[in-house]
Amino acid sequence: MSRPQVLPEPDKDPGWAYRWVRLSSLGQVDATNISSKLREGWEPVRAKDHPEIHIVAVENEKFKDNVVIGGLMLCKAPLELVDERNEFYKDQARAQVESVDNNFMRENDARMPLFKDRKTSVTFGKGK
C-alpha cells in the first residue's frame, strides 16, 4: 500500500511542463508570486481539462475554474519555454562561479599557491 500524494500528478500533455505555483500562504494571497509566474509564461490549468484531479472546494473565487489545492495552483508552460528558462539560469550560475573563481585566483601566488594539485593512488601490498 502506498501513501496518497498530497498534490496529484496531472495526466501529461505532450509538449507541456506542469508546476504547482503558490497562490496563497497561511490564508494570505501571494499576488506577487502568482503574477511573476504568469509573466514567466506559466498558464493556469483549467479544472475541466484535467478531470482526473478531484477538487473538493474552491479556495479562491478568482481562480474558481482552475485546479487549486492547498494554496497551490496547477500551471503549465510549453517545454521549449521551460528549457530556455532553465538554460538561462544555468548560464547565469556558471558565470557567477567563474567570476568567483577568477576573483579568488587573482590572489594566487606561485610561492604559496592557494590550490595544489594532489594525486592519490591506491596500491595493494602484500599482507603479513
Q: Is 76 exposed, middle or buried (0-12, 13-18, 19+ CB in 10 A)?
A: buried
Backbone CA torsion sign across 37, 61, 65, 68: positive
pTM: 0.55
Helix (H, G, I), strand (E, B) or coil at 20: strand
CB atoms under 10 Å from CB of 82, counted, come to 18
The pLDDT of 93-121, averaged and rounded, is: 74
Q: For residue range 32-81, list pLDDT tens digits in order.
A: 998 999 999 999 988 888 877 766 555 556 777 788 877 788 889 999 99
Q: How far apart are CA 63 and CA 40, in angstroms?
A: 18
Residue type, 115: F
Q: Residue 87 has what pLDDT?
A: 94
